[in-house]
Each structure stands twice: as C-alpha cells, then as structure tokens.
Amino acid sequence: MADSTFPVPGALEAAPHGRRWSQAAFLAWLHDWVVTVDHKKLGILYMLYSIFFLLVGGVEAILIRIQLVRPDMHFLSPWVFNRVFTMHGTTMVFLVGMTYIFGFANYLVPLMVGARDMAFPRLNALSFWLTFFGGILLYYSFIGGYGLYGASSAPDTMWWAYSPLTERAFSPGHAPDYWALSLIVTGFGTIGASINVIATALCLRCKGMTLMRLPLFVWLNVVTSFLALLAITPLTAAQVMLLIDRYLGGHFFDTQAGGSALIWAHFFWIFGHPEVYVLVLPAFAIANEVIPVFSRKAIFGYPAMAAASVGIAFVSLGVWAHHMFTIGMTSVGNTFFVLSTMLVGIPTGIKIFNWVATMWGGKIRFATPMLFCTAFLFQFLIAGLTGIILSVAPWNWQLHNSYFVIAHFHYVLVGAIVFCIFAGIYYWYPKVTGRMLSEKLGKWHFWLFVIGFHVSFDTMHVLGILGMPRSIFTYEADRGWAPWNFVVSIGGFIQAIAVLVFAFNLVHSYFKGRVAGNDPWDAWTLEWATPSPPPAYNFAEDPVVTSRRPLWDIKHPEDPDWRYE
Amino acid sequence: MSTLAVAQAEREQAWVQPSKGRVAMFCLILAESTIFTIFVVAYVYNIGKSLYGPTPQILEVPIWNSIFLLSSSLTIWLAERAVEHGRIKSFGLWWALTFVLGAIFLVGTGIEWHKLIYEDGLTISTNLFGTTFYSLVGLHASHVILGLIALFTVLMFTVTGHVRKEHADRIQVLALYWHFVDAVWIVVFTVVYVIGR
C-alpha cells in the first residue's frame, strides 16, 4: 500500500480547498454539474443515480419481504403488491443495472486508455440526462394520472409486461404507457452511451495501447456496449409496437384481430436474456481489475478472458427462449434452447478458472474490494450451476415461475453483480474522491451483506422446490412455506442494514476518510497514474504505454512487462 | 510520461486508429438494423394472419419510387467523391439532387398512403395487416425524414459557402446513414411488396 514515487502528470494543479458556502457559489456549483460534459463528472452522476435507485429498489424489496414475512399478511394490498414488485424489477434492471455500467465505464474507460475525455462528450451528457429523465418519468407514475384502481398508475404488469395484459382492454389508465415510454427514453440514453464507450475504446487509445494491451475492464465494456446495442433495440421496437397498439388502435398483440401475444414474449426475451449479460459483463470487468491487483499477479490468460467475453456475448444472443419453455414450443425448439443455454457454461467456466488461477499462488490481500470479489466467485459459480439446472427443459417445467427461479437470478444479480459493484466502489472510491472508504465499516458492510445474502437467497431455493410461485402477494398458513419465508425476510433485513452501513460509509468517508494519495492499492492501470481526483484534462501529456500493465513498467524498470508479451 | 516508454521501438511506427465518427455511425446502424429486424420479423410473422379487412393484394408495387430512392445512393456517392477532391460546386449539385430524390420518395409514399386510406379504407387500426404495414413502412419513412433533415442542413451549409474540402470525412459519415436508409428499403420492399403480396 506504499505510495509510489513515479512522476504524476498534472499534479501541479492544486485542488480547490475550503470553499465558503454562499448562494451564488452553490448555484455556480450546481450549474457546473448540470451542464458538465466531463466524463468523470458524468460518471459520478451515473453512479449517484444508480446508488440512489439501488436504495429505492431496496426499499421496495423490503416492502415485499414484510408482506411475505408471515402467511395471510395485510401489510400491502394485492394491487399495491403488484406495483411494488413490478417497480422493484424495473428499477433494479433499468435504473440501477443499466446505469452502474456507464458510471464505471464513463469514469474509467477514458482514464484507462489514456484519453482526455470520451469520444463524444456532448452525446455523453445527452445520454445521461435522457436516462435521468427516463427514470424520473417511471417514478412519476406513482403520482401522475389516474390508474386502474384510482390511486395511482404505477406499472403493475411485472417487469416483462407480458401481453395481452398490457393491452388497452386489460390495462386501462396509463400504467403500461409510463413503463414503455420511460424505458424507450432510458433505452435511447443507453444506445448513446454504448456508442460512446465503443468509439472511445477503439479510437482514442493512447500511443502503444494496442487492442491486446487494453485493460480487460475496457475490453469487457466494449463487448457490453456492443451487446447493449443489439439487446436494448429489440425492446425499444417492441415497446413502440405496444404504444401503437395502445394509442393508435393497432393489433400487434391483439389476439382478437389475429395478432399474437406470444410474439411479445419472444421480443421481450430477445432483449431480456442478452440484458443479463449486459449487466454481468461489466461486473466481470470490475473483477478483472480487482482480483489481479489484490493477488499481486497479472491476470491469468488475458487473451482467453477477452475471447470468452466475446463468446458469452455471441452465445447469449441465441438463448432467449429458455425463459419460455412452459409457453409450449416444439421439441426441436426446446432442445435447441436447452443446448445453447448450456453452452454459455463454457466461456463462463473459462472465466471462473482464470480468476481462480490468478489468485492461485498470489500474495492475496483481503482488503474490502477483494473480499467482495472472492464472495462473487463462489456465488457466481452457484448461480451458474442453478442456471444449468434451469436450462434443462423438464426441470424448468417443474420449477418455472417458482421461487427457485427468483433465487437463481438474484444469485446472479445480487451475488455476482451487486457484489462486484461494491468491490468496484471500494476500489475506485479513493481515485474519485481522494479519500479511502473506511476499511472497518467496509468489513462490517461485507460480512453483514454476505450473511444476509445467503440467509435470504439460499433459503429461497428451498421455497421454490416446495412449490411457492413467484409474484403471489400472500399464502395460506398450511402450505408449509411460512418458516422459510420468515428466514428469507430476516436475510433481507440484514442486507438492508448492510447497505445502510455502506451508504453511511460513502458519506462519512467523503469528509473524514484517510487521504488516499494517487495509487493507494499499488495498482497497474493508467487511471492510478493521475492525481486523486484526476484533473479535468486527465493527463497533462499523452501517456505512452508499452505493455498491459503500464504502471508496473514504471515502478519496476528492472523487470518490465513488455519483455514477456 | 515515462522516458522508458518513449525509448521503445514503437515510437517509430505511426499510431493510427479508426475514425470515431465512422465507428459511431456503424454502431448506430447496428442498433437501427436490430430495430428494423424486429419490425420485419413482426411483419413476416403476421403475413396472412389478418382475420378481416383489406389484404396485401391492394398494394401497388412502388417501382418508380424505389428507383428514385436507390439512385440517391449513387448521387450521394458522387457528392462524397466531389467534396473529397474539393469540387464544392459539383458536391452541392449532387447533394441537392440526392435531397430531391429522397423528397420525391417521401411524396410518393404519401400518395400511396393517401390512396390506401381513402380508396381502400386501410388505416393502422383497420386490421392486423394495416398495423404491420404502416408501422414497418412508416418506420422506414421516418428514417427517410430524419435523413432528409440532415441532408437539408448540410445543403444549407453548402449554399452559404461553409462546406470545404476538410469536411469530407464528416459528410461521408452522414452519407453512411443515407446509404443505410437506402439499403433498408431493399429489405422492406422485398418483404412488403414481393414476399408479402
């Protein structure tokens, strides 16, 4: 953890200190943040937005768990329960998942490739604000307009909004409209941001940064962005069709006029399954940076890791109908999607082995980021295994729409993605703010969260096997589900406490944390060669790199990496 | 940033990277192609599924319209070559011709729709065929409109004398989009007027 002594370009500019509060200064500060096109500020805005909605979605999860803690509860009405779990899913996928990607990518991709900003700074700002207002629009549905039941019109059709439930006849009011419009708007934001990430990583690399020297973080974000371009757009198209049906009297999903409700399911999952990989690949990207630095070894199998990411992206485009085994497909269709789904296990397996091989024989430092990444490895393995179980069509017929499925995908979304987000925040917080997050609070956060996670989601698998279906607002006492649900809810509360510890840590350390210095983790990628926080222009002179670990070369001129590449 | 790095042999090689405008436009085209794919799939899937109302037999093949649109790809290519070599006047003429051809296509679509709506009684809400037809052809037409707005903007810059040889790269990026709009028409034409009729 020693401060390194290599020259830091741009360190001459002192950060402004001790600004006095006044209304004019506050307005100037606010104006600066609203009109900014700086990739670092936009990255921070994306992250704050993501963390804010993580808390909102978390509150919704807690409401669900309170309602289900005992049989025959009346904490929420069935109608409110439907809205709450729809909004929980939509929020977590679109407002948390899709924004943390671009939070990290915006902040880090230009720094890692040695550029001064993203390729299109203004497009970057436009993308963020589209996403921002899309999210606001979604939540405005709670108070705006009139709904089916009078009180509000928040969407209540689940996050996949299966047709024909979303047709005018079955969902009057504006609930599906808010859902579709806000996701079209955030989708445009995603397309803009993805284009920006790709253009930055391919066209703005500093001298010597060949494609085979790009940090794996950047590689994976490029793959993610390509996948997002291919995955978000089918949803946009399907939502446009839904709006045509609802507003212009179209018949796409209107079975009474010959339309098809089934085709919505296909269109949605053509988006929905690659979306899972859009969300998880940036989490892998974080693990790819954290695990080597804290194992004190270069990543094992760099080309295999890059190739496996591309492989995952390709395979993920052909597996969507494994969400639809119970809809009734031909046996050829079933077999195809069983096999293609199982195929995903190969590139992901390569990744897990490579991470383990990176840790193997390393001098592992179990700082908080590494703790989260270690837990991620185990949990992601289990999530993958239950995924293979669910990919077998007969198993799927048994377990479909049960809590087993919920447990499986929360293992991916929380056990893998959220754990990696936390690892990434603990790892890069010093770079962004100039201060370390408290390690002590970090360890509390980690242990509470990992315990709460397993209490909740391990137990949920059992509930699924016992036959509890998802999305039911309550259950009878004689079903035998009560003790399990009680345990799941307790786990949920423990996770909530852990997240509160984390939120406190974020705020507290910003003011009181230990000053970080430029390179607190003794890391190897270019962002650590800038001051913390980096100046607006990132690098005073354009860096030149000669290997995958430019800072290693500078710190160890006697044994540079490029000799071995 | 480090003397060691500069000492490397790579200093000798020129450091070339792809043009960011082109990369971004290809990404946009990739995303747009996916949207079109979904609409085309919805069209093909629903061919002959309409339970009542007019059928695709009422469509007339817009041969001339298609020739106008597709030839605009050639004229915009000639405009690209002209600006690349600094022949601004000839660029302006080819560019204006491209705009006119695109506009004729749009007017042609308008005439076709007018006939469908007022003579055949087919609107987007009439039946399933109407829904899929107007949304697919309309999706393409809306892209033509966007393209025409972009073409017109450049045309105004040309008329006021602001376009120079060094803008060739940006103009070619924009032209990529127009080529895409033309190429998609081949797909839409095939699906709607050849396969679907």
Q: Do A7 and B1 touch (CB under 8 A)?
A: yes
B19 touches chain A (CB under 8 A): yes
Q: What is the pLDDT of residue A105?
A: 97
Give A143-196 pLDDT, tens digit per residue: 775 544 444 578 888 899 998 889 888 888 788 889 999 999 999 999 999 999
Q: Do B1 and A560 touch (CB under 8 A)?
A: no
- Chain B residues touching A543 at Cβ < 8 A: 1, 5
Orientation of helix A331-343 relative to helix A345-359, angle to 10°: 10
pLDDT higher than threshold 60 for residue B11: no
Q: Do B23 and A198 touch (CB under 8 A)?
A: yes
Closest Cα to residue A88, out of A451, A507, A415, A470?
Answer: A470
Residues of chain A short of pLDDT 50, as ranges, are 1-7, 9-15, 147-151
CB A216 within 8 A of CB A310: no
CB A322 within 8 A of CB A392: no
Rg of the Cα atoms in chain B? 22
CA gap A102, A382 in Å, rounded: 27
Q: What is the pLDDT of residue A18?
A: 54
Orientation of helix A331-343 relative to helix A368-391, angle to 10°: 160
CATH number attached to the domain at B20-46+69-195: 1.20.120.80
Q: What is the pLDDT of residue A32?
A: 93
CA gap A170, A161 in Å, rounded: 12
Q: Do B1 and A191 touch (CB under 8 A)?
A: no
Closest Cα to residue A355, out of A420, A413, A408, A429?
Answer: A420
B146 touches chain A (CB under 8 A): no
pTM reported for the whole predicted model = 0.93
- Chain A residues touching B41 at Cβ < 8 A: 263
Query: Residue ranges of the domains in chain B?
Result: 20-46+69-195
Q: What is the pLDDT of residue A16?
A: 52
CA gap A286, A564 in Å, rounded: 24
CA gap A557, A121 in Å, rounded: 36
Q: Which two tokens stand for residue B121?
A: 């009684």
Could you give the C-alpha distances from B178 to A102, A192, A556, in angstroms and in order?
Answer: 29, 19, 52
pLDDT higher than threshold 60 for residue B12: no
CB atoms within 10 A of CB A528: 26
CB A539 within 8 A of CB A114: yes
CA angle A202, A206, A209 (to 5 degrees): 70
Give B147-176 pLDDT, tens digit per residue: 999 999 999 999 999 999 999 999 999 999
B12, burial (CB in 10 Å: exposed 0-12, middle 13-18, buried 19+): exposed
Residue with tokens 């066209």: A203
Mutate to test the interface with B, among A194, A195, A556 (most CBs of B within 10 A): A195
Helices (H), A392-481: 393-399, 403-410, 419-433, 439-465
CB A345 within 8 A of CB A384: yes
Closest Cα to residue A98, out of A224, A209, A211?
Answer: A224
B8 touches chain A (CB under 8 A): yes
Query: Min CA distance, A111 vs chain B (Å)?
Result: 14
Could you give the C-alpha distances from A193 to A133, A197, A221, A544, B166, in angstroms and in order?
Answer: 15, 6, 11, 26, 28
CA gap A163, A148 in Å, rounded: 17
Give A8-28 pLDDT, tens digit per residue: 544 444 445 555 678 899 999
- Chain A residues touching B46 at Cβ < 8 A: 252, 258-260
3 state DSSP class of B138: helix
- Chain B residues touching A207 at Cβ < 8 A: 10, 15
State which residue of chain B sits closest to A251, comparing Cα positions.
Answer: B128
Closest Cα to residue A480, out of A463, A499, A456, A498?
Answer: A463
* Phi and psi angles of residue A299, each rounded to the nearest 5 degrees, phi first: -60, 140
CB A458 within 8 A of CB A404: no
CA gap A161, B26 in Å, rounded: 31
Of the listed ranges A147-161, B56-70, B131-145, the one predicted with least confidence: A147-161
Average model confidence (pLDDT) across chain B: 92
CA gap A155, A168 in Å, rounded: 13
Q: DSSP letter at A400? A: T
B150 touches chain A (CB under 8 A): no
Q: Which two tokens stand for residue B21?
A: 């405008």
B2 touches chain A (CB under 8 A): yes
| Distant-in-sequence, close-in-space partners of A464: CB < 8 Å, separation ≥ 6 | A399, A402, A403, A404, A405, A406, A407
Of the listed ranges A557-561, B86-90, B134-138, B140-144, the one predicted with least confidence: A557-561
Query: Min CA distance, A139 vs chain B (Å)?
Result: 26
The fourth-level CATH superfamily of domain A33-564 is: Cytochrome c oxidase-like, subunit I domain (1.20.210.10)
pLDDT higher than threshold 60 for residue B100: yes
Peptide bond into A71 cis (omega under 30): no
